[in-house]
Structures are given as C-alpha cells and as structure tokens.
Chain A
Amino acid sequence: MVRYLNWLWREFKGEILVLPGRSILFFGAVALLALPLVFRHPYALRVLTMASIFAIFAASWDLISGVVGQLSLGHAIFFGTAAYTSALLNLNAGLPPVVTIPLGALAAVVAGLAVGIPCLRLKGQYLSLATLAFPIILAGLVMVFSSVTGGELGVSGLTRLAPTRLKEYYVAVVAAIVLILAVWKITDSKVGIIFHAIREDEVAARASGINTPLYKVLAFCLSGLFAGLAGGLYAHYMRIAGPSTLSVLTSFQPIIWVIFGGIATIYGAVVGVFVLFPLVEVLRVAPELRMLLYAASIVLVLRFMPEGLAPWVIDRLERKCPRCKEHNAFTRRACRVCGTALRVPQEKGVPSGG
C-alpha cells in the first residue's frame, strides 16, 4: 500500500509537477472538483457545467481538425445528431440518460461515417466547406419533419441529467475530465502519431504504408463519438434538443474556442472553453455590447498570440530541449531527460542551434 502510494507520488511528481503547463491543468481539474465544497452559487455551477460539456465538444473538434488536420466547419452535425437522438429516445422510449447519451453518441459515430466516407475524396479547403453543409442539410430535414422533431421549437421535456444541480455539475465535470483525458491519450498513442503524420504530410504517410483513408474515417468516428457524448449531455442538461444544436454558429463555436486556446493540442481546447465561455457570461453585464466585446477580445488576443493562448503561455513557462525535444520548466538550467544545458530563450528569428 505504502509502496503503491509512493509510486503514485513519484509518477505524479515526474509526469505532472515537472511541467508548469501540466500542473496548471491538474490543479484546474482539482479546483473544479473541489469548488462546490466552498462555493455553490447556482449560476456559477451552471456556467461551469456548461463549460465542461462544451470542453468535450471542443476537444472532439480539435481531434479531427487540429490533430488530424481535416478542418471541419460542420461539427454541429455530431452535436445535433446526438442531441436529437438522445432526446427522442428519452421521450419516446422512456430510456434514462445513462442509456440515451451513449446511444446518441453511437448515432454521432454513424454520422461520422456518413461525413467521413464521402469526404475522403476531398482535400483541404474543399473538405472544410463540404463539412459545413452536413448540419445545414440535417437542419432542413428537421424542419420538414416537424411532427417528429418539433420543428423550430425542438424536443423538450427531457429527463434531467441528474436529480440535483450539484449532481449534474459532478456528472458533467467528471465526464469532461475522463473524456478529455481519453482524447488526449488517443492523440498520444500509436494511432495518434499516425493522425499527426496524416496532418503533416498525407502523401508521405500513405507512402510509408499507412492506410490513411481508414485512419481518417476512424478519426471522424472518434471525433463524432466525443462530440456526440457532449451533445447528449447538453440535451439532457438543457432538457431540450432544438435546431440551434445544428446551426452554423454551433459549428463555429468549437472553432473559436480551440483556435483561441491553441489548435492541435487538446489542452488548448479546454483552455479556450474555460476562458471564453465564462467570459461571455461575465459580459452579460452589458447585454447590448456582449457579442461585440466577445468577438473583439478574440480578435485582439489572436492578433498578438496567433498560435493561441495556451501555446503562448507554454512558450513562456516551458522550454524545449534542443537535443531531445522534451519540454522543461523555464526554471531549469539543464534538460530533465538528457541533461543538455538549456539556453536562455532567444529572440524570434535568431537560430536556436548551430
């Protein structure tokens, strides 16, 4: 037991505490879990619950668009499909959220196949613009079959995610932590390396024997799965699934969050949501100026941090070892892995090596 705890502590120290970026994320997660012990303002809990759900959605977008490089402008298709599926199953078949959310996510995986397979033929900008079409087409169908889908009003009156506000909060936060860690693990795995390779150079990846179409469809399905889980959680939390879940703005939301936070990093997605979503809420103090200030602050931040917020911060807190490319805290003089001396970060445009 003691040995196990000891091992846990060493892993914790070696994997998380050594890097400021990871420490921030870890303590952020801990803070989220501990917050209700001291502070239970219903409105704050609601904002954080929503942010947790959207963080899953944003991470799923980053998986397909950032990591695999298949820039999707129509991610609402997964969110909306799952939201409607969960809602309809809940209302018409009386299934509880525990069942409807995974089934909704399954429907989103099928949507991933439906989007991913035709899009295999498309590249770059053409792919992005084609993906934009899917949720709009589905939204049109939803309006036409309004007897089933409720048309403009949507499907409402769903079972609550959990009986109390606090439980709902924990369901969302725990789901976010587990699912985002899963996404992050995927990008860090063997499959993840293939995903990165497809983004960097698809032709080269194919030339080295990787079945890139298979992996691209897989990526669409995985991304659909996580976006779908977020969509189901959202429907049950809001107790409604409406056409707004399929709107263009729903597709644009994760793009804004992720690029603002830092694309192709997964943690950037989380940072983006947890900064921007509460920001929108804070800006409610000036209702008329709210969206204006929101958009303007995004524009300003990106003008000066074009790679996004999280990478900008990490660049200042961590330093890459010139020899083994491992990250190190900015306080270190030598690399923690290979012992190479770390130099003071140089000005941009000046070479880092010989």
Chain B
Amino acid sequence: MPEVPETLGAPEALLEVKGLSVRYDTAVLLNDVTLRVDAGETVGLVGPNGAGKTTLLRTVAGLVHWEREKKRGTRAGNIVIEGQVVFGGQRIDRLPPHGIARLGLVLVPERRRPFRELSVLDNLRAGAYLVRDPKEVTRALETVYGLFPILRERGGQLSGTLSGGEQQMLAIGRALMTRPRLLCIDEPSTGLSPRVRREVLAKIKDIGRTGITILLVEQDVSLAFALTTRNYILSHSRVVAEGTSEELMADERLRQRYLGVAGTA
C-alpha cells in the first residue's frame, strides 16, 4: 500500500481518509478511497446504491474494525481494512467505536436506529453518556430541544413509537448530545415524506451553520447539494468525482451517469 504524501493534509483538515479499502471475504466494499473534510464544512457523499457510502461511514466510525475484531477467528469473519483514517490529526482506524466517539466523531446511523425500548429522554441521555458535567448535559439538552421542539413534547414516550421523521430527529438529536466535532449522517431522508425530508435537511443545514462539521450521505442529490459546500461521488466502491455542487451539476456526463440516477431514488 503506497503511502499518501503527508503534504496532502493541510492543517485545517478535520477528517482525512487515505487510500481506504475494505473487503468482506472476496467482496470489495471500498477500493482505495481518499477524501477529506475540513473543519466547518458540510460535505456531501452521493452515489448509487451499493457504492459503499454506508460502509465508508461505518468504517470511519470504527464499526467495521470493531466487527472485524469481534469476528476474528470465525469462518464468517474475514474482513480486511487497509489504508488510514485520520481525525483531528490522530489515526483512528484502529480505535474501537467508543474511543472514536470520545474524540468527537459521531455517526447518525442508517435507518436511524433509536434505542427503541428507551424513552426519548433516555435516548438523548445515552447520547450524553460521555459528558460528565450535569450542567453541560442540561445545556446540550436545551440546544437539542431548541432545534427539535417535538422531542421535548415526546420526552417520556418510548422512541420505538415515534414516527419516522421524529425518529430521525431523535437520532440527530442523540448524536448532537455527544457534543461532536464531526457529525456523520447516513441517509437521513430515506423513508420520509417529501415535506418531512425538506424539514430534516433544513435542520441539518442549521446544525452546519452552528459550526459543526458534517459529512452527509444522501440519496436525494438535489436536496443534498442545496446545503453542502463540497461533494464526493462514490460509485463501485471508488471516488469518481469531487467538487462543489455547482461544478458537479455542470458536468453533463456526471449528471447523467450518477446524479440523475441517484436523484430518482
């Protein structure tokens, strides 16, 4: 594996993924992916189904490495991870997910995955697990309630009983409770009505404005491009293009091949 020259990493880069490859047995899920997210940016990650977007976020959050460690020695668990993930100047590709969370990188997972049998409030508290000071927790809670007032109303309800849109807000709120530096959001609009989609994406835009860096995986390209500063297109496990929303949309070939297709999902 050839090393990527250090000069690529400008000082303000928050997340750098360098030559990352992930294989499950013989299936290649990521193939030599290199990308970076600078502090304060909202970066979009788009591309067709099965391109490896979710795998990329799961690898960055440490879940693929964790799965590999757990399944070491079983016949099913032949997972290979190559390359580097650097967050805030520190290599994180060998850290367990909870160690990565401690550094301020948090994932809002695909399909939202709230702790279903826990109340909404307990879900948010679970997000604040690493925050020691109770005052800090209260403050974070107020911030989240300010962003999603509905969560305050539903505080005592079991999160499994929430609607899809509410669950998505809860998942984002829960992640915000960790006081993250980088928020990785995986397909927040899937399964939501167009109106709720726009609402959720608008909230993400608001979160970006507060200074939190965001890496957003989204199927709905037109919605995503409206709020991202820069984007990567992933296809067949590789990065095929990078640029601002305008640049990418202006490229007829890219639009037809990747963006148009992705936009109809």
Q: Is the CB of A351 within 8 A of B75?
A: no
B163 within 8 A of A: no
Per the bound structure, the CA–CA distance linking A207 and B74 in Å amounts to 28
B91 within 8 A of A: no
Q: Is the CB of A352 within 8 A of B74?
A: no
Q: Is the CB of B26 within 8 A of A349?
A: no
Instruction: Return B81 CB to nearest CB of chain A, in Å.
Output: 10
A307 within 8 A of B: yes
Interface of A is mostly: loop
Number of residue pairs A-B, CB distance < 8 angstroms: 22
Tell me which of A307, A351, A354 contacts B78 (CB under 8 A). Answer: A351
Tell me which of A306, A350, A351, A352 contacts B73 (CB under 8 A). Answer: A306
Tell me which of B23, B25, B26, B73 contacts A348 (CB under 8 A). Answer: B73
A353 within 8 A of B: yes
Per the bound structure, the CA–CA distance linking A350 and B81 in Å amounts to 10
Per the bound structure, the CA–CA distance linking A348 and B73 in Å amounts to 7
Q: Is the CB of A306 within 8 A of B74?
A: yes
Interface residues on B, range: under 10
* Contact mask for chain B residues 58-86; partner A; CB cutoff 8 A; 1 contact, 0 none: 00000000000000111100101000000
Interface of B is mostly: loop
Q: Is the CB of B74 within 8 A of A351?
A: no
Q: Is the CB of A353 within 8 A of B74?
A: no
CB-defined contacts of B80 to chain A, threshold 8 Å? 349-351
Q: Is the CB of B78 within 8 A of A349?
A: yes
Per the bound structure, the CA–CA distance linking A354 and B78 in Å amounts to 13
Q: Is the CB of B26 within 8 A of A351?
A: yes
Per the bound structure, the CA–CA distance linking A354 and B72 in Å amounts to 20
Per the bound structure, the CA–CA distance linking A352 and B26 in Å amounts to 8
- Residue in B closest to A354 when the chains form the complex, CB atoms: B26
CB-defined contacts of B72 to chain A, threshold 8 Å? 348-349
Q: Interface residue count for A (Cβ, 8 Å)?
A: 9
- Residue in A closest to B80 when the chains form the complex, CB atoms: A351
Per the bound structure, the CA–CA distance linking A307 and B26 in Å amounts to 21
CB-defined contacts of B25 to chain A, threshold 8 Å? 351-353
Per the bound structure, the CA–CA distance linking A354 and B80 in Å amounts to 11
Per the bound structure, the CA–CA distance linking A306 and B71 in Å amounts to 12
Per the bound structure, the CA–CA distance linking A281 and B73 in Å amounts to 33
CB-defined contacts of A352 to chain B, threshold 8 Å? 25-26, 78
Per the bound structure, the CA–CA distance linking A353 and B25 in Å amounts to 8
Per the bound structure, the CA–CA distance linking A135 and B72 in Å amounts to 37
Per the bound structure, the CA–CA distance linking A349 and B75 in Å amounts to 10
Instruction: Return B25 CB to nearest CB of chain A, in Å.
Output: 8
Per the bound structure, the CA–CA distance linking A349 and B73 in Å amounts to 8
Instruction: Return A353 CB to nearest CB of chain B, in Å.
Output: 5
Instruction: Return A314 CB to nearest CB of chain B, in Å.
Output: 12
Per the bound structure, the CA–CA distance linking A112 and B74 in Å amounts to 32
Of the candidates A306, A348, A351, A354, the one having the most CB atoms from chain B within 10 angstroms of its own CB is: A351
Q: Is the CB of B75 within 8 A of A307?
A: yes
Q: Is the CB of A353 within 8 A of B26?
A: yes
* Contact mask for chain A residues 329-354; partner B; CB cutoff 8 A; 1 contact, 0 none: 00000000000000000001111111
Instruction: Return B67 CB to nearest CB of chain A, in Å.
Output: 13
Per the bound structure, the CA–CA distance linking A306 and B74 in Å amounts to 8
Q: Which residues of A does B touch, CB under 8 Å?
A: 306-307, 348-354
Given A306-B73, A307-B75, A348-B78, 4 new contacts (CB under 8 A) = A307-B74, A350-B80, A352-B26, A354-B26
Q: What are 22 sample pairs from A and B whose C-beta atoms fall under 8 A apart?
A: A306-B73, A306-B74, A307-B74, A307-B75, A348-B72, A348-B73, A348-B78, A349-B72, A349-B78, A349-B80, A350-B80, A351-B23, A351-B25, A351-B26, A351-B78, A351-B80, A352-B25, A352-B26, A352-B78, A353-B25, A353-B26, A354-B26
